[in-house]
Amino acid sequence: MIDPRDACALAHGIEAIEIAEGHARLTMTVRADMLNPHGICHGGITFLLADTAVAYASGFDVITTTASVVYPNAAPFADVLTAECRVVHQARKTGVYDVTISDSNGTAVCLVRGQTLRIGSTARGVR
């Protein structure tokens, strides 16, 4: 379930399919207001889905400090994108997460590796 305080995710129609410690699977349908002038999903919108997946996989008490992004394929209008996020490394204050966003055919449209910094102290019992 998307946190009701997560106005950005709600505004973009992001839905939570699975959330567990170190893992999240979210979906989002590409709407007309998400398209760039080429008629495909704007990369910033796709990254927004990836960054949201990191937040849900990490327990919300982190911020993404750096990320590398690759867009191997375009995300077309009206397609349902799925973000699959997994923790690669979690230390006391920093973490590394990998996200793959795929279209409805399972084709990767965005690959993200993000580093996070813990800004809270109690998410999922980590201090």
Interatomic CA distance for residues 83 and 16, integer angstroms: 10
Q: pLDDT of 101-112, one tens digit each?
A: 999 999 999 999
Q: Using pLDDT thresholds of 50, 70 and 90, give the confidence band for residue 123.
A: very low
Q: pLDDT of 24-54, one tens digit each?
A: 999 999 999 999 999 999 999 999 999 999 9
Contacts of 69 (CB under 8 A, 6+ apart): 43, 47, 50, 110, 111, 112
So where are the chain's domains? 7-125
> So what's the pLDDT on residue 56?
96
CATH architecture of the domain with residue range 7-125:
Roll (3.10)
Strand, coil or helix: 102: strand
